[in-house]
Amino acid sequence: MAAMSRPSATLIALIALQCASALSFQFTRGVPPFPFGARLSIPRASCHQHSSPAAATTATPTSLNMKEDESKEDKVEDSFMDSLKQRIEEVKDSDTTLPILLMEPVLPRQTLVIQTNMQQLLTLIKYLIKHETPRLGMIGQVATTDGKTPDIGPPGGTDMDDEDKRFIPLFFGVEMEIQGTPDIRPIPSDMEPAPGGSDEVITVALAAKRRFSINRNETIWEEGELQGISRARVKFLNSGDEESKEELGEDMYDPMSLSRAEMMAKVFDEMKWKDTSDKRMVDHWIELARKNEKKPGQIDRLLQSLGEMPPATEPSERAFWIGAPLDR
C-alpha cells in the first residue's frame, strides 16, 4: 500500500495563517471566536470559509426565514384579532342602537303596513336594506298641555311649523322589523303624494318586536346619507322582569298591581260575554276585530302568526296579544 502523502510545511503554514487572520478579525469586531473543540460541519482545512464574522454571530438563512415567517404570522393573527374585536363591538352597538322613526305608538306583535312617499322613511328603508340591518325603532308622540313648543328636532332647528312642535316624542317605543321586500315605484297617478316628499312611493310591512326605552341624552342626529334621522341608544324591556319588580315592590308601582293584572287576564279568558252566551270575552273581541278588518282574512292571518294566547300568569304578554288585532 502506498504511504499517504503528508501536507507540505508551506500548506500547513498557509492554513494556520488564514485561521489566525479570522480570529484576529473577530477580536477586532468585539466578537468572541469559536470555542476550542467546537464541532463544525465543514473540513478543518477550510477555515477560509469562516473568515467572515457573520458566520459566528448570525443565524443561518434557514433560521432567519423561520423568524420572518413567524413574525408575519404574528402580524396576520394580530390583524385578524383586531378585526374580530371591531366586528364584535359593531354587532353589540347595532343591537343596542336603532335609527328612530317618529310616527305613532305600536304594540308588540302588530304589523304595520305603510304606503308613503315621505322622503325620510324612503331613505331610511333603502339604507337599512342596503346594509342588511332591517331593524328600526318606532316611537309615538304626545301633544303638550302647557302650550310650550319643546325642541324635538336636530341641532340648528327644523322646518317644522308651530303646530307640529306642540307634539313631543315618547321615550318608549317598539323595535320594528322589515318584512319581505319593500315595493318602491314611481308615484301612481291616482295617489295624492305628501307635499315635499319623494317622487317615489314605498309600500313596506313592519312587524313590531321588542319594546324599548330610550335616553334622550344618548340620541344623535345622523349626518351624510341619513341626515336628519336620529339614532338612539335603546334598552330593551322584558315583561317578566318588569312584573317581578312590581311583585317585589322594587319600582314605583303598587306591588298588588301584578296580582290584579293576572286576575283580569284570567277573567278575560274565562268570563262569558253575556250570561246567556257561551262566548268568551276574548272570542267576542276577536269577532269585533274581524268586523272592522281592512281586508278579508286579515285577522285570521294575524291570529295564525300570533300563535296561542299567552297564559294569564303573563298578563303583559297577554295584553299585547289582545291588542294586536286592533285595526292597523
Task: Give residue 319's identity as a one-letter amino acid code.
Answer: A
Question: Quick one: 249 and 315 in the same domain?
Answer: yes
Q: At what angle do helices 239-248 and 257-270 cross, to 10 degrees?
A: 120
**How would residue 131 be classed by pLDDT, with cut points 50, 70 and 90?**
confident
Question: Quick one: 231 and 245 in the same domain?
Answer: no
Domain end, chosen from 237, 263, 287, is at: 237
Q: Which domain holds residue 302?
A: 241-328
Question: Quick one: 211 and 226 in the same domain?
Answer: yes
Rounded Cα distance, 94 and 14, in Å: 78
Question: Quick one: 223 and 295 in the same domain?
Answer: no
* Total of domains in the chain: 2
pLDDT, position 227? 66
What's the Cα-to-Cα distance from 292 to each of 114, 224, 316, 321, 327, rounded to whole Å? Answer: 18, 43, 24, 17, 7
Give pTM, 2 decimals. Answer: 0.55
Choice between 300 and 251, residue whose per-residue pLDDT is larger: 300
pLDDT, position 317? 84
Torsions phi, psi of 108, nearest 5?
-55, 145
**Contact 164/144 with Cβ under 8 angstroms?**
no
**Contact 304/109 with Cβ under 8 angstroms?**
no
Q: Strand ranges (DSSP E) for 222-261?
A: 230-236
pLDDT, position 85? 66
Choice between 61 and 40, residue whose per-residue pLDDT is larger: 61
Question: Quick one: 286 and 313 in the same domain?
Answer: yes
CATH code for the domain in which residue 159 is found: 2.30.130.40
Average pLDDT over residues 80-94: 62
End-to-end CA distance of the chain: 115
Whether residue 152 has pLDDT greater than 50: no
**How would residue 293 be classed by pLDDT, with cut points 50, 70 and 90?**
confident
Locate 293 and state its grid cell: 278588518
Average pLDDT over residues 314-321: 83
pLDDT, position 32? 44
3-state class percentages of the chain: helix first, strand second, coil last, to nearest 5: 40, 20, 35
Rounded percentage of the chain residues whose pLDDT exceeds 90 = 12
Domain end, chosen from 215, 237, 259, is at: 237
Sequence-distant (≥ 6) Cβ neighbours of residue 202 within 8 angstroms: 114, 115, 116, 117, 121, 122, 125, 182, 183, 184
Question: Quick one: 210 and 255 in the same domain?
Answer: no
Domain end, chosen from 237, 259, 282, is at: 237
Taking the CB of residue 53, how many other CB atoms lie within 10 A of it? 17
C-alpha angle with apex 304: 277 to 243, nearest 5 degrees? 80
Whether residue 177 has pLDDT greater than 90: yes
Question: Quick one: 218 and 113 in the same domain?
Answer: yes
pLDDT digits (tens, 9 = 90+) for 268-282: 666 665 555 566 777
Question: Quick one: 207 and 279 in the same domain?
Answer: no
| 195 lies in some domain | yes
Span of 18-32, 68-82, 242-256 with lowest mean pLDDT: 18-32
pLDDT, position 254? 56
- SS3 for 259? helix
Mean of per-residue pLDDT scores for the chain: 70
